[in-house]
A and B are shown apart, each in its own frame.
Chain A
Amino acid sequence: MAKRILIADDEPNIVASLEFLMKQKGYEVRVVDNGKDALDAIASFTPDLVLLDVMMPAVGGYEVAQQVRANPAWAGIRIVMLSAKGRDVEVSKGMAVGADAYVTKPFATRDLVAKVKELLGE
């Protein structure tokens, strides 16, 4: 059974790159461009992992993460936060809301893919 990946980012070009990378690895990919849709998608799509951009309109990445972690049904979902802000405080904040990993943009594709694989237990 292929793992499901949800990509939530409001930059279409970044989404495109992430989509390509995930699909190349054989994951099933769903794409949203804002936090609200992300939550809906998590509910319906039930991904195994979410690639979550922090800066999104309306509902941002942190809030999504909080909501996910608040829901025991989604405890198994892995969250990888993506952000152009890489300061320590941001990273700590991300880990504090329950992310499993925090990746700063621009990222190395290989590293990202490796991290995803790791988190999915492969």
Chain B
Amino acid sequence: MNGGPAIIVAALAYLGLLFAIAYYGDRRADQGRSLIANPYIYALSLGVYATAWTFYGSVGRAAADGVGFLPIYIGPTLMMVLWWVVVRKIVRISKGNRITSLADFVSSRYGKSALIAGLVTLIAVVGIVPYIALQLKAIAGSYTLLVSHHDAGLVAHHQTVPVLADTAFWMAILLAVFTILFGTRHLDASERHEGMVAAIAFESLVKLVAFLVVGVFVTYGVYNGVGDIFSRAAEHPRLSSLFAPLGGAAGGYVNWAWLTLLSMLAIMFLPRQFQIAVVENVNERHLTKAVWIFPLYMLAMNVFVVPIAFGGVIHFGDAGADPDSFVLTLPMAHGQEAIAMLVFIGGLSAATGMVIVETIALSTMVCNDLVVPILLRTRATYVAAQKDMTRLLLAIRRGAIVAVVLLGYLYFRLAGEAYALVAIGLISFAAVAQFAPAVIAGIYWKGATRAGALAGLSAGFAVWLYTLLLPSFAKSGWLPASFVEHGPFGVELLRPYALFGLAGFPEITHAMMWSMIANIGALCVVSVMTRADLAQQAQAARFVDVFRHADGEHALPDWKGRASIPDVEALLARFLGRERAQSALEAYAQRRGFRSLRELPADAGLVQFAETAMSGAIGGASARIMVAATLSEDAPSMEQVMAMLDEASQAMAERRELEQKSRELTAATEELRAANVRLTELDRMKDDFVSTVTHELRTPLTSIRAFSEILHDNPDIDTAERQRFLAIIIQESERLTRLINQVLDLAKLESGRAEWRVVDVDVPAVVRDAADATGQLFSAKEVPLDVRIATGIPPVRADRDRLLQVLINLLSNAAKFVDAGTGRVTVDVGRDGGNVVVGVTDNGPGIAADDRAIIFEKFRQAGDTMTGKPAGTGLGLPISRQIVEHLGGRLWVENAPGRGARFAFSVPACADGSTAVPPAEPARVR
């Protein structure tokens, strides 16, 4: 029988051993011969993940649930697969930024925000407190069990025992003292505790050995192997149902999946795990071993859980026995006191390991990320006056350790009885899971902002509080039970275990779902709605892009900073654009005799080259500053760099704009030049026109003047001659007048300044009027004029006078050109589709094909090459064409059948096409 004192002595001896190991480890570290620079030590130290929960609680859970305890270990195994990528990134970032705690990490990523640091610390402390309570429960319970040999298990009715008589209380005090001795003997700038790590690795081994021993004992000592246990279990009604439990259990697969996810996050974000895995990591390479050794460790730890659990149920039956204690009670029931003691030590080891590391991590955060910032804000002068901060800091930390442990004890008193161990642990898991969105987004998404992280953390934490922590008080009676059953103030929709009506899920799963929704949702939404300031952006870049600076650790002989090819490339790309930067670097590499830029050494020469290359874009001085800032070791100037980059990129944008404008300018100049050419052409044409008009005007004037002078100077001219001369004067005057009128008319028509009175015009009537007007011309030459008008000619929208003008022009032309006596002229009016067509046909000389276009030119007349100049101005047809085209029609000439020409024009008819003409009249011959 183990007496109480014997147990206490054994416990203290063990703790003393741990302490000695830690002390030795620290000594070796100070000597520079680190004990823990070993991947196996690193991997084993991760075993601190397995606490009294694993030791006792897994068995308890297995007895109730079959494999339901396993997600807690499968999750981390899966996470270790990605460990290589994710945790490496975190480790790299942390080393590069001198990050010493989880709160530090999160706050640093989001612009070194003190607010975030404080919030993370708060969440961590509140979240871990139940977990610590769990350890206390386990230790106290196991102690009591050993001592009093109750079969009742770890439930020890502590709530009724006064504090000072409570084993758990003294356990807490002991642990606190021990932790203080472990972790706060001195301050280390990197917050590393080599001794602690060595001790933790040792206690992982102890745990494993103890559990394996009891496992082997139960499986092969009590029973005849695993097969034996299971075959017996198959006969046990409840146990056999646990052979295939998942489908039937509460929430079944959903629960399983969420628990897996939860533990995947826990292995990264539990403060003790972050401490061991990231802060205490000495060498990234150790991760390669940890990736499989740690899962193997967990596998080994869990192999015997089910045999022990089933064995216990089979042995003790279902009544009364607390399955959490099977690891103790089974050996005890078989008189194996030594094994029981070993198990107790194992459990103690598990619990102390957890408490030590967790509270050290928490105290670091409380000190650095909670208390000190507050101190700096409120009592800055006091702080400044302290010559030596270390005593103050150590005092703060020690106080924090004690406080945290005592809080754990408090929770244990208030709520610890109501739950099995595993349930308590999961509450803590859910709390630290709230860090996951902010951290994972922080290392992969530059767009995550401080506001987003704050929102996410707060939202997730709030949901966690409401759906897990508060109800746990209700379950223990410190809050009214109606809070859980009917929601606060009876609001059913806000029941903590069935929020918004989502019922039917285990508490943890339910809480995880809502808290993750709130957390991730708030993080994303607020992040995209807010802008990160320069400091945040710089930090975001440092975090997310940490792997871009590969091989950056080597200091170069004649270059004080660390430049890597990717660094230089990125820098150049910023100012020269990606392609130019690459080609420049390639060219440089070639010049130096390397085959490609990958082979370039990142030395001063390269940096010099980069500087030169950039000075083309931003000037020499700025280039030097840029190079110094980004390629040197001095990290904080990143902010300056970002500011400069912003300016530079703005300058580049402006230059692009300028280039764009100059391109547009060139294009405009081209257009102007073309327009100028056209204008010159038009000018010349205008000049031609003017000179031609002048010529045409002067010609009749010449006659007028000459004969006027003649008549004036020769009063004795005989009458016949005088009459003749006067007639010429009159004739030429008329010609002049006509010319002037037509020139003006044409000018008005062409410039669009003519007045148009557009009405519905009856074309046949106009044709008849024109025939009347020109009748004199025809009769003078004895040329008959045929007028043929078809039926059903619709009216057209036209200016009647202008239309008349055209017809008169065409008719007089015809009259002019036909031979007297034998000539015949016909006017026909017809309809062609939507147009009214009028044609004037003569049997005169016709128009040669070459002349068809010429006759429509100003001042040009058919017959320029003939002898004898025809009367006329040469403007009639151009004017007619102008008029017809203005009315929307066409004027053209074609050859008449046989001899002669036909001038025709078409004008669009009115839309309604109503006939406005009486039936065709017999042709009238004049």
Q: What residues on A are CB-neighbors of B703 within 8 Å?
A: 11, 13-14, 16-17
| Interchain CB contact under 8 A, A14 and B699 | yes
Give A83's nearest chain B residue, CB to CB.
B695
The interface bits of chain A over 82-106 (1 if a CB of B lies within 8 angstroms of the residue's CB, else 0) are 0011010000000000000000111
The smallest beta-carbon distance between A58 and chain B, in angstroms, is 6
Contact among B696, B705, B867 for A57, CB-based, below 8 A: B867
Contact among B691, B713, B725, B868 for A109, CB-based, below 8 A: B713
The interface bits of chain B over 684-703 (1 if a CB of A lies within 8 angstroms of the residue's CB, else 0) are 00000001001111111111
Contact among A34, A87, A109 for B706, CB-based, below 8 A: A109
Q: What is the CA–CA distance of A108 and B710 in the complex, to the nearest angstrom? A: 10
| Interchain CB contact under 8 A, B704 and A33 | no
B915, CB-defined interface residue at 8 Å: no
B719, CB-defined interface residue at 8 Å: no
| Main SS class of interface, A | loop
Q: What residues on A are CB-neighbors of B704 within 8 Å?
A: 106
| Interchain CB contact under 8 A, A11 and B728 | no
| Interchain CB contact under 8 A, B698 and A18 | no
A20, CB-defined interface residue at 8 Å: yes
Q: A57-B864, A107-B702 are in contact. Are A20 and B710 (CB under 8 A)?
A: yes
Give A34's nearest chain B residue, CB to CB.
B867
Contact among A20, A57, A104, A105 for B865, CB-based, below 8 A: A57
B223, CB-defined interface residue at 8 Å: no
With most chain A CB atoms within 10 A of its CB, the pick from B705, B706, B707, B725 is B706
Q: What residues on A are CB-neighbors of B695 within 8 Å?
A: 55, 84-85
| Interchain CB contact under 8 A, A105 and B864 | no
Q: What is the CA–CA distance of A107 and B701 in the complex, to the nearest angstrom? A: 9
Q: A57-B866, A85-B694 are in contact. Are A13 and B728 (CB under 8 A)?
A: yes
B contact residues, total (Cβ < 8 Å)? 30
A48, CB-defined interface residue at 8 Å: no
| Interchain CB contact under 8 A, A13 and B714 | no
Starting from the known contacts A11-B702, A16-B728, A21-B710, 4 additional A-B residue pairs (CB-CB under 8 Å) come to A11-B869, A16-B703, A17-B707, A84-B694
Q: A84-B694, A85-B691 are in contact. Are A21 and B865 (CB under 8 A)?
A: no
A24, CB-defined interface residue at 8 Å: yes
- The number of inter-chain residue pairs (CB within 8 angstroms) is 78
Q: What residues on A are CB-neighbors of B709 within 8 Å?
A: 108-110
| Interchain CB contact under 8 A, A58 and B710 | no
By Cβ-Cβ distance, the 3 closest A-B pairs, closest first, are A17-B706, A84-B698, A105-B702
B779, CB-defined interface residue at 8 Å: no
| Interchain CB contact under 8 A, B865 and A106 | no
Q: What is the CA–CA distance of A24 and B707 in the complex, to the nearest angstrom? A: 13
Q: What residues on B are CB-neighbors of A28 within 8 Å?
A: none
B731, CB-defined interface residue at 8 Å: yes
With most chain A CB atoms within 10 A of its CB, the pick from B702, B731, B864 is B702
13 A–B contacts from the bound complex (CB under 8 Å): A10-B869, A11-B699, A11-B869, A13-B703, A13-B728, A17-B725, A57-B866, A58-B865, A84-B698, A85-B691, A106-B705, A107-B702, A107-B705
Q: A55-B695, A84-B694, A84-B695 are in contact. Are A14 and B702 (CB under 8 A)?
A: yes
| Interchain CB contact under 8 A, B698 and A106 | yes
Q: What is the CA–CA distance of A6 and B714 in the complex, to the nearest angstrom? A: 23
B337, CB-defined interface residue at 8 Å: no
Q: Which B residues from 659 to 698 make CB contacts under 8 A with A?
A: 691, 694-698
Q: A106-B706, A107-B702 are in contact. Are A13 and B731 (CB under 8 A)?
A: yes
| Interchain CB contact under 8 A, B694 and A21 | no
Interface size class for chain A? 20 to 34
Give B704's nearest chain A residue, CB to CB.
A106
| Interchain CB contact under 8 A, A24 and B732 | no
Q: What residues on A are CB-neighbors of B705 within 8 Å?
A: 106-109
Give A54's nearest chain B residue, CB to CB.
B695
Q: What is the CA–CA distance of A16 and B706 in the complex, to the nearest angstrom? A: 10
| Interchain CB contact under 8 A, A105 and B698 | yes
Q: What is the CA–CA distance of A13 and B869 in the complex, to the nearest angstrom? A: 12
Q: What residues make up the interface of B, taking CB atoms closer than 8 Å to A?
A: 691, 694-707, 709-710, 713-714, 721, 725, 728, 731-732, 864-869
| Interchain CB contact under 8 A, A107 and B706 | yes
Q: What residues on A are CB-neighbors of B697 within 8 Å?
A: 84
Q: What is the CA–CA distance of A34 and B866 in the complex, to the nearest angstrom? A: 10
Give B712's nearest chain A residue, CB to CB.
A109
Give B694's nearest chain A residue, CB to CB.
A84
The smallest beta-carbon distance between A73 and chain B, in angstroms, is 27
Give A18's nearest chain B residue, CB to CB.
B706
Q: What residues on B are CB-neighbors of A21 within 8 Å?
A: 706, 710
Contact among B702, B713, B869 for A84, CB-based, below 8 A: B702
Q: What residues on A are CB-neighbors of B868 within 8 Å?
A: 33
| Interchain CB contact under 8 A, B867 and A13 | no
Contact among B698, B706, B714, B865 for A24, CB-based, below 8 A: B714
Q: What is the CA–CA distance of A110 and B712 in the complex, to the nearest angstrom? A: 11
Q: What residues on A are CB-neighbors of B728 within 8 Å?
A: 13, 16-17
Q: What residues on A are CB-neighbors of B694 within 8 Å?
A: 84-85
Q: What is the CA–CA distance of A16 and B729 in the complex, to the nearest angstrom? A: 11
Give A37's nearest chain B residue, CB to CB.
B867
Give B705's nearest chain A residue, CB to CB.
A106
Q: What residues on B are CB-neighbors of A11 within 8 Å?
A: 699, 702-703, 869
Q: What is the CA–CA distance of A87 and B695 in the complex, to the nearest angstrom? A: 11
Q: What is the CA–CA distance of A21 and B709 in the complex, to the nearest angstrom? A: 10
The interface bits of chain A over 1-25 (1 if a CB of B lies within 8 angstroms of the residue's CB, else 0) are 0000000001101101110110010
The smallest beta-carbon distance between A25 and chain B, in angstroms, is 12
Give A20's nearest chain B residue, CB to CB.
B710
Q: What residues on B are CB-neighbors of A85 within 8 Å?
A: 691, 694-695
The smallest beta-carbon distance between B96 and chain A, in angstroms, is 87
Q: What residues on B are CB-neighbors of A33 within 8 Å?
A: 867-869
Q: What residues on A are CB-neighbors of B867 within 8 Å?
A: 33-34, 57
Q: What residues on A are CB-neighbors of B731 within 8 Å?
A: 13
Q: What is the CA–CA distance of A17 and B700 in the complex, to the nearest angstrom? A: 12
| Interchain CB contact under 8 A, A105 and B713 | no
Q: What is the CA–CA distance of A18 and B868 in the complex, to the nearest angstrom? A: 18
Give B732's nearest chain A residue, CB to CB.
A13
Q: What residues on A are CB-neighbors of B864 within 8 Å?
A: 57
With most chain B CB atoms within 10 A of its CB, the pick from A20, A58, A107 is A20
Q: What residues on B are CB-neighbors of A57 within 8 Å?
A: 864-867, 869
The smallest beta-carbon distance between A42 and chain B, in angstroms, is 18
Give B696's nearest chain A residue, CB to CB.
A84
| Interchain CB contact under 8 A, B710 and A109 | yes
Q: What is the CA–CA distance of A17 and B709 in the complex, to the nearest angstrom? A: 10
The smallest beta-carbon distance between A9 and chain B, in angstroms, is 9
The smallest beta-carbon distance between A19 and chain B, in angstroms, is 10
Q: What residues on B are CB-neighbors of A20 within 8 Å?
A: 710, 721, 725
Q: What is the CA–CA distance of A37 and B866 in the complex, to the nearest angstrom? A: 13
Q: What is the CA–CA distance of A32 and B589 in the complex, to the nearest angstrom? A: 91
Q: What is the CA–CA distance of A36 and B698 in the complex, to the nearest angstrom? A: 24
Q: What residues on A are CB-neighbors of B698 within 8 Å?
A: 84, 104-106
Q: A11-B869, A13-B731, A34-B867 are in contact. Are A84 and B699 (CB under 8 A)?
A: yes
Q: What residues on A are CB-neighbors of B707 within 8 Å?
A: 13, 16-17
Give A56's nearest chain B residue, CB to CB.
B869
The smallest beta-carbon distance between A13 and chain B, in angstroms, is 4
The smallest beta-carbon distance between A102 and chain B, in angstroms, is 14
Q: What is the CA–CA distance of A10 and B703 in the complex, to the nearest angstrom? A: 12
Q: What is the CA–CA distance of A11 and B732 in the complex, to the nearest angstrom? A: 11
The smallest beta-carbon distance between A86 and chain B, in angstroms, is 8
Q: What is the CA–CA distance of A113 and B732 in the complex, to the nearest angstrom? A: 22
Give B714's nearest chain A residue, CB to CB.
A24
| Interchain CB contact under 8 A, B706 and A14 | yes
Q: Which A residues from 18 to 69 make CB contacts under 8 A with B?
A: 18, 20-21, 24, 33-34, 55, 57-58
